[in-house]
Chain A
């Protein structure tokens, strides 16, 4: 995974490059939380363009980061989601609180 902070717009960009399951979620959580507490971003953006698999572990991870961003008065967005991953997120109702439709150029 790659984490970048765009200072100008106060955006924390998290590009996930692996399959999201219980095994990798702990590492993702730690790194993202590190980034959030260090930079206090206005928005955290998860780029899912390289995520080919996600199970329920991802739902918990996303909700956890969403709560954290809310706590510091920021927001969370997920972009470039595949249809399979989207199905899981919609099942959980996450789509009602977190925007999923966005596309974003990967730099």
Chain B
């Protein structure tokens, strides 16, 4: 199978949210994901990058890094900032938990990442920064198709 790696670095400007998710989606498309799988990845990236901008750097300028890896048929993404970090990661993961309700945030970011990706690890040191590692396995459509064909080919 295919093994590949990429790195991306950009300023924490909100206009880069679309850039980040589209770039990662282009990278992930090597695995031939479905439209839905691609939408899942785009959404998860958008959540993590937005969190770095709003919470990590609190709208000040900083650098956001994304490392993307393809290991067999899994996409692995590492999205990191050197912003203020998360005080209580366990609490931050909870649905509806937000420290910025005044900005009309809903506290659903991590919940969305967790349900759209297979694995989400949060590595954060308060005062130093946050790294979110996410993995998603892309199903092998071609083999699926072959299976269907071989099963259905008895008539």
Contact = CB atoms under 8 A, between A and B. Distances in A.
Interface of A: 19, 21-23, 25, 29, 53, 55-57, 59-61, 63-64, 84, 88, 91-92
B54 interface: yes
Interface stretch (B72-80, B86-94, B106-114, B121-129): B106-114
A60 B43 CA distance: 15
Nearest to B35: A84
B54 A56 contact: no
A88 B114 CA distance: 12
Contact of B108 (A22, A29, A92): A92
Contacts, number: 59
Given A56-B47, A57-B50, A91-B115, A23 B108 contact: no
Contacts of B43: 53, 55, 84, 88
B150 interface: no
Contact of B104 (A19, A23, A55, A61): A61
B53 A22 contact: yes
9 contacts: A21-B17, A25-B104, A55-B46, A56-B50, A57-B105, A60-B103, A60-B105, A88-B43, A92-B106
